[in-house]
């Protein structure tokens, strides 16, 4: 003891997360992969809103739904919720 | 009064995520859906504070962060106190002319453990002091992050690791605490319940909570596939069933005036659409023991408490 403790201005800033989580790709957790059928799709935009991972994007240029397979964890919510069954879950490594 | 917020699904989908991909929630996580939807409803600069819980753990694993807004982690018990501090600091900066933004919103996120049990006194204090912030409770009905221990938000009959359903007890013996009604009793400007299965309703309520002057409380129903024991693809389906069976009715209370939201009003006006709770219970394995002989009466008990609370709610909304 004897030494004076440093004030709040001197102590280092603790625990600041500085890298975006998008650098960490969660896609390799997946067992089943969603396959989108753009012929059946009515573009109701439900699936992007119910995806827990933000892995379903709306491409304004092509006017279509796109999957970010780098982040999709394969939960299957989109396939379960799709009102017209335009999304199918296929086991990784298998063909449609 | 500002004009009501109008939006199209396309605008919302095209708005960049403020809670981004790459967070490490389990596949099919309900609270992660809730956070994504809520962050789509922000109206400008926003500061988020997060109590310890699933969403704090999965979104900021050092050195990665899933947040695109200023975000601060705080302990289990004091997220509301933290939000009060942020709001007070913003007020001082504004008074001194050091704040370049006209308005900064403060959102506090906490799970059911951090709200029903541990954080209740801080929340009650902040509501009484009248700080201008939105408190979002994402309710997955147990302490999922530490290994599925029962909380004040766990419903009657649910099996958790600290209330295991077996030969002796039928899961949790107590009933779920009516937390949203407790918050209405604080006479704060805005209290609402919402479900991730009706995202338009959820983001409208979020925006109302942000727009209102004073504390707002939003109770969001967010199923957890890991703790509730169902397939990851059923998250939205189960949260919809909870609304249709009236286990979790949707309503809002502005200055204590209750009103039912459209999804629950349909059930109130056409009682034949109300589904039995059995349909909601049988899809989750945490209630699986109730369907074996011995604990069958517990299903009736759950139906009774659901009906009783639903009828009380109808009375408060002046629907008979």
pLDDT bucket at A79, cuts 50 / 70 / 90: very high
CA distance B137 to B38: 11
| CATH number of the domain within which B217 lies | 3.40.50.970
Structural domain includes residue B9: no
**Mean pLDDT estimate for chain A:** 91
Structural domain includes residue B246: yes
Average pLDDT of span A83-92: 95
Structure token pair of residue B95:
């008074």
Structure token pair of residue B312:
């009380």
Residue in B9, B26, B235 closest to A77 by CB: B235
Average pLDDT of span B102-107: 95
* pLDDT (0 to 100) of residue B123: 97
pLDDT digits (tens, 9 = 90+) for B50-79: 999 999 999 999 889 999 999 999 999 999
pLDDT digits (tens, 9 = 90+) for A21-34: 999 999 999 999 99
Q: Is the pLDDT of residue A3 over 80?
A: no
Domain that holds residue B303: 15-316
pLDDT bucket at B161, cuts 50 / 70 / 90: very high
- Please, what is the Cα angle at B17 between B13 and B19, to 5 degrees? 140
Q: Is the pLDDT of residue A1 over 60?
A: no
The percentage of chain B sitting over the pLDDT mark of 70, rounded to a whole number, equals: 99
Chain A CB contacts of B61 below 8 Å: 17
From A2's Cα to the closest Cα of chain B, the distance in A is 32
Average pLDDT of span B11-21: 94
Chain B touched by A11 (CB under 8 Å): no
Residue in B19, B73, B234 closest to A80 by CB: B234
pLDDT digits (tens, 9 = 90+) for B24-33: 999 999 999 9
Interface test with A, best of B22, B196, B232 (most A CBs within 10 A): B22
pLDDT digits (tens, 9 = 90+) for A30-52: 999 999 999 999 999 999 999 99
Residue in B12, B65, B234 closest to A17 by CB: B65
CA distance B95 to B81: 21
CATH code at A32-91: 3.30.70.20
Q: Which of A38, A39, A28, A41 is nearest to A72 (CA)?
A: A28
Structure token pair of residue B259:
């009103």
* pLDDT (0 to 100) of residue B2: 65
Chain B CB contacts of A19 below 8 Å: 63-65
pLDDT bucket at B167, cuts 50 / 70 / 90: confident
DSSP B53: S
CA distance B136 to B49: 10
Interacting residues of A77 by C-beta distance below 8 A, sequence separation 6+? A50, A51, A52, B28, B33, B232, B233, B235, B236
Q: How many domains does chain B have?
A: 1
Structural domain includes residue B158: yes
Chain B touched by A92 (CB under 8 Å): no
Q: Is the pLDDT of residue B126 over 90?
A: yes
pLDDT bucket at A2, cuts 50 / 70 / 90: low
pLDDT bucket at A13, cuts 50 / 70 / 90: confident
Structural domain includes residue B253: yes
CA distance B213 to B134: 10
Structural domain includes residue B2: no
**Mean pLDDT estimate for chain B:** 95
Q: Distances in Å between the alpha carbon of B114 and those of A43, B32, B180?
A: 38, 17, 14
pLDDT digits (tens, 9 = 90+) for B271-281: 999 999 999 99
Chain A CB contacts of B237 below 8 Å: 80-81
pLDDT bucket at B296, cuts 50 / 70 / 90: confident
Structural domain includes residue B7: no
pLDDT digits (tens, 9 = 90+) for B217-255: 999 999 999 999 999 999 999 999 999 999 999 999 999
Structural domain includes residue B31: yes
Q: Are B133 and B216 in contact (CB under 8 A)?
A: yes
Domain spans in chain A, listed from the N-terminal domain onward: 32-91
Chain B touched by A38 (CB under 8 Å): no
């Amino acid at each position: 003891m004897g030494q004076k403790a440093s004030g709040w201005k001197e102590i280092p800033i603790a625990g600041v997360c500085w890298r975006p989580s998008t650098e960490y790709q969660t896609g390799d957790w997946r067992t089943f992969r969603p396959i989108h059928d753009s012929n059946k799709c009515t573009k109701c935009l439900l699936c992007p809103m119910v995806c827990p991972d933000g892995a379903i994007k709306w491409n304004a240029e092509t006017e279509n739904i796109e999957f970010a397979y780098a982040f999709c964890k394969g939960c299957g919510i989109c396939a379960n919720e799709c009102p017209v069954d335009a999304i199918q879950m296929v086991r990784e490594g298998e063909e449609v | 009064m500002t004009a009501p917020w109008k939006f199209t699904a396309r605008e919302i989908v095209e708005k960049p995520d403020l809670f981004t991909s790459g967070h490490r929630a389990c596949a099919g996580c309900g609270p992660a859906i809730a956070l994504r939807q809520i962050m789509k409803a922000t109206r400008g600069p926003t500061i988020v504070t997060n109590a310890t819980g699933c969403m704090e753990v999965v979104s900021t694993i050092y050195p990665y962060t899933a947040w695109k807004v200023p975000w601060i982690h705080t302990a289990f018990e004091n997220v509301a106190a933290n939000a009060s501090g942020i709001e007070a600091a913003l007020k001082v900066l504004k008074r001194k002319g050091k704040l370049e933004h006209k308005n900064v919103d403060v959102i506090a996120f906490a799970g059911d453990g951090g709200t029903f049990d541990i954080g209740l006194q801080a929340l009650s204090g902040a509501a009484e002091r009248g700080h201008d912030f939105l408190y979002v409770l994402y309710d997955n009905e147990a302490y999922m992050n530490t290994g599925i221990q029962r909380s004040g938000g766990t419903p009657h009959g649910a099996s958790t690791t600290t209330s295991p359903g077996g030969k002796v007890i039928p899961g949790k013996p107590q009933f779920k605490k009516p937390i949203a009604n407790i918050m209405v009793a604080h006479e704060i400007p805005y209290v609402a319940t919402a479900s991730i299965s009706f995202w338009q309703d959820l983001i409208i309520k979020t925006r109302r909570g942000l727009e209102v002057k004073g504390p707002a409380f939003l109770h969001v129903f967010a199923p957890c596939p890991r703790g509730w024991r169902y397939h990851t693809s059923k998250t939205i389906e189960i949260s919809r069933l909870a609304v249709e069976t009236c286990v979790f009715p949707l309503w809002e209370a502005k200055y204590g005036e209750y009103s039912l939201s459209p999804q629950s009003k349909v059930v109130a006006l056409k009682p034949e659409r109300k589904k039995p709770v059995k349909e909601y219970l049988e899809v989750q394995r945490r209630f699986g023991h109730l369907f074996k002989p011995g604990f069958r009466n517990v299903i009736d008990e759950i139906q009774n408490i659901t009906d009783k609370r639903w009828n009380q709610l109808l009375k408060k909304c002046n629907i008979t």
